[in-house]
Chains A and B, each alone.
Chain A
């Protein structure tokens, strides 16, 4: 499968714990995006990378959230001290510079109890 992949697909954690998600983009794509989607809503932008550089972060991304893409390939999104409000689907997408088509992975569904 040459599409975007994410791991894990589901994560249940207790409030206050730290979690880390991984995204592997389409191999020839140099841009990688993280979005969050709650039930009944469209995806909300969190952050994006061009190669290893993090170029934009949403105000939604509190200091408990950190994302990395150390070698310009896969990316990780870490949430520290999780809260119940962090429960959502975390989607990763990738694209090349031109065109801008963003292709999504299957998402990681986070449940904070």
Chain B
């Protein structure tokens, strides 16, 4: 089955800096890659996603890149703000229904 690895597990950046979170997946059949943000005690919230026919997607300060050959994808957050502090999860979808999640990255944006 699919296996998703995520790095780093924790990331601390200063306000205004950029943050990058990387994930790798194992199943070459995976074709959809969402990113979720989860604040403490809250539900996972879908923030951006990318499909396998696209190499990059951007939404304001957030961007995701996908390298199908290397089977890895990354989340980029620019001009980080304190409200970006949360746990971020990447996931992969192989078309059969379920999402396989990474282990999460705890992002701390300091003033």
Contacts and interface: CB of A to CB of B under 8 A. Distances in A.
Interface of A: 31, 33, 35, 40-45, 48, 50, 55-56, 58, 91, 99-107
Contacts of A50: 97
A100 B98 contact: no
Contact of A33 (B34, B36, B46, B97): B97
Greatest chain B CB density within 10 A among A41, A42, A101 is at A42
B22 to A, nearest CB: 15
Contacts of B101: 42-44
Given A33-B98, A48-B98, A102 B46 contact: yes
Contact of A103 (B6, B46, B97): B46
B32 A91 contact: no
Contacts, number: 51
A43 B44 contact: yes
Greatest chain B CB density within 10 A among A43, A44, A50 is at A43
A48 B93 CA distance: 13
Interface in B56-91: 89, 91
A91 B43 contact: yes
Given A33-B99, A91-B44, 8 more contacts: A40-B104, A41-B103, A42-B91, A43-B89, A55-B97, A56-B97, A104-B43, A106-B42
Nearest to A50: B97
